[in-house]
Structure 1
């Protein structure tokens, strides 16, 4: 991870944890240079990263200020940019995972194309229900190339795959392409997510990439419609 990215992550965590309140000014560039022991160019790149993520705004002649957003917005933006994962996003809550499927197989043509593989390559096929404070809220269908993400075991699935990728494998998750749509749950999803009546679900399809541009994950997450919000911040 580059120095400016590490500083941006640290500042984002400070905002997420409430060290900086909405509307509060960040430390001046020269002060952050002393704190982190880096040049002003590095600090500027770190702050520009937070601007791109929609967390702070620069005011000419005044400084950089935390944008006024709900805590939930900040948390979800942090998740989208940091890929901290489900457990880290809901820190302080009881988070559990129920693994429904974990095996190895060949990807379909559609998945192979998204992961830049051939249909002869092998992928993990993972299905998990994520449970928040005793309530199942999302079922995830995930495929990952074995040669790129080796060594995944049941224990990893029950905790955090993203943490395993970054901390154990030393890889850096960089970005994701997502699409969101509303849909109706299948009978199996109604049972697993304890859905009654005609409640719709929110489906998020994602291809995630490492910092070298290689796609490492294709996933479809199906969220309970009454437990999910989609938030977006557009930055020019």
Structure 2
């Protein structure tokens, strides 16, 4: 088992998840028994149970008394679930084994125009923090992000937030509960700015995913636009929240 760089139980969980998502184990079917998994991976029952717990916690299986471990994962349900949840970019990179980082291009205080005021339910000319940053995975530019953070919700928004975790700041520091986001997806062509920041050819096709994020009072709290090459990166991180 020396081939695993992760802890054994995490490596086993990862492999089982891949098999479930690929259809080796389909919804409604049962995973092999603990004894068979122990034999397959040459590990103890404790290790197998730790791996199964990850699958249970992530919604792939349920344990049924006297029957075993049943698969409840569905690609269709997963797509529906992704439409209402958000995961931070840093977590998305962690899940694929990459180190995340960001580079701030712009951070300034602006006044909301008519469109932004309507989208975020603000009074016209309300103060809003506007930023632009590049999101990296292992030093490769995955996304170009533009965001609007109203001062009424984020009075102490700053560079440190953008260089670390925006979601941590929102939920832990500002104590705002993020519930869902409304998304608009459009295809665009790379202009000179995107060409230089994302290292893509001029006029190459990109996706621009704009989303308005809502709190638990159903109020829009921020607007973010994420631009990326879908051949390199998927937009899962803007659909989940950890």
Q: TM-score range by the shorter chain?
A: 0.5 to 0.7
Q: Work out which of the two has the higher radius of gyration on C-alpha atoms and give 1 or 2.
A: 2
CA RMSD of aligned residues (A): 3.4
CA distance in 2, matches of 1:171, 1:113: 21
Relative distance call for 1:97 and 1:64 in structure 2 (3 A) is same
Count of matched residue pairs: 184
Match of 1:128 among 124, 133, 138: 133
The counterpart of 1:218, out of the listed 223, 234, 239, is 223
1:84 and 2:90 correspond: no
Among 154, 157, 161, the residue aligned to 1:156: 161
Cα offset, 1:169, TM superposition: 1.6
Give the equivalent residue in structure 1 for 2:200.
Answer: 195
Contact kept in structure 2, 1:143 and 1:219, CA below 8 Å: yes
Unaligned runs of 5+ in 2: 1-9, 21-25, 30-55
Shift of 1:214: 1.3
Task: State the Cα distance separating 1:144 from its structure 2 match.
Answer: 1.3
Match of 2:171 in 1: 166
Matched, 1:144 2:139: no
Aligned to 2:105: 100
| CA distance 1:121–1:169, change in 2 (3 Å) | same
TM-score by length of 1: 0.67
Which residue of 175, 182, 192 corresponds with 1:177?
182
CA 1:137–1:19: 2 relative to 1, 3 Å:
closer
SS at match of 1:205: strand
Inter-partner Cα distance in structure 2 for 1:77 and 1:167: 27
Partner of residue 72 from structure 2, selected from 66, 81, 89: 66
Segments of 5+ residues of structure 1 without an aligned counterpart are 1-13, 27-46
* Whole-Å separation in 2 of the counterparts to 1:108 and 1:192: 26
Distance 1:108 1:101 in 2: 18
TM-score, normalization by structure 2 = 0.65
Deviations 1:100-149 (A, max 9, x none): 00111101211110000022211110101101122112111100111112
Q: Who is 1:8 aligned against?
A: none
Residues 165, 228 of structure 1: alpha-carbon distance in 2 compared, 3 angstrom cutoff: same
- Residue 33 of structure 2 is matched in structure 1 by none
**C-alpha displacement at 1:220, in angstroms?**
1.4
